[in-house]
Amino acid sequence: MYQEGRWAHSKFLDEKQDTAEYSFLSTTQEDAGTYWCHYQVSESEDISGKSVPVELVLTDRTFPPPDISLHPEQRVGTGTNVTIRCWNDDDGATFLLHKDGRPAPIQRLVPDGVGTASFTLFAVTPADSGTYTCSYRPRNYPFLSSPLGDNVTLEVTPTPAPPGAELASHGNRVEAVVRGCAAALIFGLGVFFVIDARSLWIRRDESLGGEGM
């Protein structure tokens, strides 16, 4: 196992094992960072490629938690744009937006030197309802995180149809039915006239044939 390019730990496995576990009994700031693994079969000199890297981020409770606000507040209708602001006194920190029930942050943002990050949820739906909170990672400490701050709760309600919309929809359905019936009637009349005209031509031809005899 490697940490940011340097060897960190190694383990030897017997033939019945295929998983190596590494534990940190008491983490420190030096343990925070990016890790990856590779392996080597004992009978071979070949070494596997690197695994997908993982990040170990530690929460440092000496950092004060960030503040948070929600606009518009709490209950909004479907399709509304919602802004969640997070701030602290540490300019240059990276802010992360969390939602309850999601294992990873849903957004990450570096503010423009003012210590405030504005996260926007565009055209929200009921699926966006939930509790949100923020954390931040101080500048120069990308793998150390503040504790989570206070939370805000967003409730998204389905937007009711405007007055008269149901009546208009009913009227549109009636109009469509009327148009369909009119089209069917016109088609039927057209077929009738074609058949009638054909029968007239047949009778006329028969009549002319009889006169010739």
Find the CATH number of the domain harbouring 15: 2.60.40.10
Is residue 211 domain-resident?
A: no
Cis previous bond, 72, omega within 30: yes
Report the domain count for the chain. 3
Neighbours of 149 (CB within 10 A): 19
- Which span out of 115-119, 186-190, 195-199 was modeled with the highest average pLDDT? 115-119
Question: Domain check: are 108 and 173 in the same one?
Answer: no
pLDDT at 152 over 90: yes
Among 28-42, 95-109, 139-153, 191-205, which stretch is predicted with the lowest mean pLDDT? 191-205
**Per-residue pLDDT for 134 more than 80?**
yes
Please tell me the pTM assigned to this model: 0.66
Query: Using 50, 70 and 90 to split pLDDT, how confident is the model at 144?
Result: very high
Same domain? For 29 and 76 the reply is no
Residue 71 lies in a domain: yes
**Is residue 209 in a domain?**
no
pLDDT at 198 over 90: no
Confidence tier at 136 by pLDDT (50, 70, 90): very high
How many Å apart are CA 86 and CA 135, to the nearest integer? 8
Q: Are residues 75 and 124 in the same domain?
A: yes
As a whole number, mean pLDDT of residues 45-67 equals 90
Asked if residue 157 has pLDDT above 60, the reply is yes
- Do 142 and 89 belong to one domain? yes
CA distance 116 to 88: 7
Is residue 92 a part of any domain in this protein?
yes
Q: Identify the DSSP state of 164.
A: T
Number of other CB atoms surrounding residue 141 within 10 Å:
16
Which residues, 6 or more positions from 89, have their beta carbon under 8 angstroms from its beta carbon? 64, 115
* 163: confidence class by pLDDT, cuts 50, 70, 90: low
CA pair distance 134, 90, nearest whole angstrom = 14
Q: What is the mean pLDDT of residues 48-54?
A: 89
Please tell me the predicted confidence (pLDDT) of residue 183.
63
Same domain, 25 and 79: no
- The stretch 189-195 carries a mean pLDDT of 55
For residue 80, tell me if it sits in a domain: yes
**What percent of the chain shows pLDDT beyond 70?**
70
Residue 151 belongs to a domain: yes
Range of the domain at 188: 162-204
